[in-house]
Structure 1
């Protein structure tokens, strides 16, 4: 339904023009009002969108221009749902003593006070529509930079305004988006004016020469895909969004902190989290980051309730040679495997060479992983409330994958031997730790893969592992899996280290009730059956017919399950991941059916 009516300022060029173009192509947008002094490029596309695009030519510092824009939105669209406040100037640029007071006033008139007036004019319309406000921010508003004092200050105060807006009226959502370094006229001016410091000038020149500038269309997607962007804001409260992921909330209502994951290893020692901390179950576990001997990953999957269709996504932050995965030149890698109904699987992996980040508040978390032509994001609501929801979005046209999947948890989060609480051990195995944010979930997957729709309804899962040293050097064999068997949610782990010692972690819930959780010896035992059922398996051995899984629930009770091979999602000499049907139940009681996904390592 096309019901969104949006005003975009600074719409005549660069990011603003790219936003307008994306909005005009969006089926949910009925009208776009574009505001700028320079309207030539807008006029050149108006003929293709005569009923959808209205243009206001003028300076946003003139109050009549803002009034005209709002009146035009109401006249053509009947309401106003979104303001995208992108108009700005980066001038004056230079050493602080050289900047006149008049130049400061002029910059703040454009970058700040013009937005104040637009908000005043549009306020009651946004109240009526429970509307949204998106402003363009900048990294220098958080990380001060020499020569950019005026511009950085104007953007910082804009961030603060953004944080205050929902306190004035909770019906209105507000976020600020930092687009990053983008190949626009602003970047050209910064390089060519020669007023930057020598170090900054060198940096700006390198961005262009090394091809590290984003195309305007890339950050424009974060503005135009406002449904997803606003969902992130609802998770983390009004926030500063870094290329579509929440960054900061100066209002103080929900303190947001950020963690950067660069596309390079750190030198020296890193601290590994081994004991749980409050609110930290799903966060990066290595401080200050991954070095030459550590690794950290986030795993998501969804399995159809009726056939072989499945998807798994693993976000890696890893040292070379740590995980038997080819090293892509930096520690970040995203493995995407899709299995279709007929059992065939394809690889859609990519390299987020522009880095990743996490933003965390007491309302949840958000993360984005950026590549030259890809953006993978995930958000999660707080794990301290029942049935948290995670959404993972993929925008990777280079690999032909666009869409998202959502997981609504049906089982509480936990660590290997304890529920989610601070002060408990996170160790799963020698030098390996584990946290299970979503042991089982209702999964909804909607993707377009190579131009074809891929829809899945079934069971989902999300966890994370982290460790020190090579997984191959630590592990002999490793069985892990999860499944939905009637009303029961199962997670199992049974592994043997190089010394021959076996480790266990069992988990069964029924609804939100935990029936068993234990790391005791043989609390859950997993063994292959049928063909290729040698135990322990050796490298290169083909997959078995299935697995027998037995949980010791204590007091003489046991839960037994039988997994039968259905399809192979991934198969290497040392690793296999399978999907298929599973049956099971408490011994002596009714047996149930369902679907499961499981894996085996063999070194």
Structure 2
């Protein structure tokens, strides 16, 4: 058995056009406006061969959404950041264009901001994909740029309250639910009913330099990024979920433990990398004689329970658990990895 202990806190009517600028003659651009949507169904793509940063929803109705997510924790687990760039219905705002950031400093101070803007633009070029969320006044821009080889990305924010960058350098290949590596026609982007998911960077080195209302936030640590899209809001389709990513020595771990509100069933995905190679993957949570499987136990004897910020008007109850004990087993190779993850800080706590 490999035993590893880690401290972590990671608990429209749209336009399609072709860019004709000389340097990006082969780029494809997709724009979406806040408040623009159609009545009736909107197509949600499930094509496993579409590039992971390309939009999977091109026409929005009152319920669909697509979300690019970025997260990181410092090496000591004391500071953290979560950032979302969303198109579509979110937080009861229909057909919104939103950036969300939540930060925890090492001293326990927290900051959260929602930026609802007017337009999002996704531009796919031969070597890069960029996404820009901006307002018509021109004084707020949230966006990302990512290499199409899934090696690196940078989020840049320019606004009256936040300025700076959030960089990620991947340490693993892009993966589907279940751990197959992109591109693979056998794979599925469906984690659970109505929950589509792609993991661009399962684990990555992170570097963050931001000014938050004049206060610096600097972080070096471990992070990653993923994308999910849904035909209905998270609160409608999700029962509960745990997501974890970690680096321990040469190993990288990416895990989803999800319960669907659509059918009430659990869904699971665990992938282990060593260097840049996937060495273990499973979607099984039951002990099997010949197939890989994994289990997640909620730990309750760690030092930190997740909690709302002290100044929250309606605080949520503290989490009953303090981390996770994760076991990954390969009967064929007689290998067993165990990861013990403890919470060390709350980045943000919200009720869906």
Superposition TM-score, scaled by structure 1 size: 0.49
Of 438, 441, 454, the match for 2:217: 454
Residue aligning to 1:273: 45
Residue aligning to 1:512: 276
1:307 Cα shift? 4.3
The 3-state SS of whatever aligns with 2:348 is strand
Does the aligned pair in 2 maintain the 1:506–1:519 contact within 8 Å?
yes
How far apart in 1 are the matches of 2:83 and 2:174? 19
Matches within 5 A, 1:295-310: 295-310=65-80
1:491 matched to 2:254:
yes
Matches within 5 A, 1:259-408: 259-267=30-38, 268-278=40-50, 280-287=51-58, 289-319=59-89, 325-327=91-93, 330-352=95-117, 354-371=118-135, 372=137, 373-383=139-149, 388-397=151-160, 400-408=161-169
Could you list the runs of 5+ residues in structure 2 that have no partner in the other structure?
A: 1-16, 287-292, 303-314
How far apart in 2 are the matches of 1:540 and 1:455? 28
* Moved beyond 3 Å, runs of 4+: none
Residue aligning to 1:558: 336
Residue aligning to 1:421: 183
1:521 Cα shift? 3.6
How far apart in 1 are the matches of 2:233 and 2:157? 29
1:466 matched to 2:238:
no
1:263 Cα shift? 0.9
Describe the shift of the 1:265–1:527 C-alpha distance in structure 2 as closer, same or farther (beyond 3 A): farther
Larger helix share, 1 or 2: 1
How far apart in 2 are the matches of 1:375 and 1:565? 32
Residue aligning to 1:73: none
How far apart in 1 are the matches of 2:119 and 2:44? 21
Does the aligned pair in 1 maintain the 2:98–2:133 contact within 8 Å?
no
Q: Looking at CA atoms only, which structure, 1 or 2, has the larger radius of gyration?
A: 1
Could you list the runs of 5+ residues in structure 1 that have no partner in the other structure?
A: 1-141, 144-155, 164-237, 240-248, 250-254, 533-538, 575-603
Aligned residues: 310
Does the aligned pair in 2 maintain the 1:435–1:464 contact within 8 Å?
yes
1:525 Cα shift? 2.3
Does the aligned pair in 2 maintain the 1:439–1:482 contact within 8 Å?
yes
Describe the shift of the 1:296–1:554 C-alpha distance in structure 2 as closer, same or farther (beyond 3 A): farther
Higher relative contact order (CA 8 A, sep 6+): 2
Describe the shift of the 1:474–1:269 C-alpha distance in structure 2 as closer, same or farther (beyond 3 A): closer
Alpha-carbon RMSD: 2.3
Larger strand share, 1 or 2: 2
How far apart in 2 are the matches of 1:492 and 1:528? 14
Cα deviations by residue, 1:62-95 (Å, 9 ceiling, x for unpaired): xxxxxxxxxxxxxxxxxxxxxxxxxxxxxxxxxx
How far apart in 1 are the matches of 2:285 and 2:127? 37
Does the aligned pair in 2 maintain the 1:492–1:524 contact within 8 Å?
no
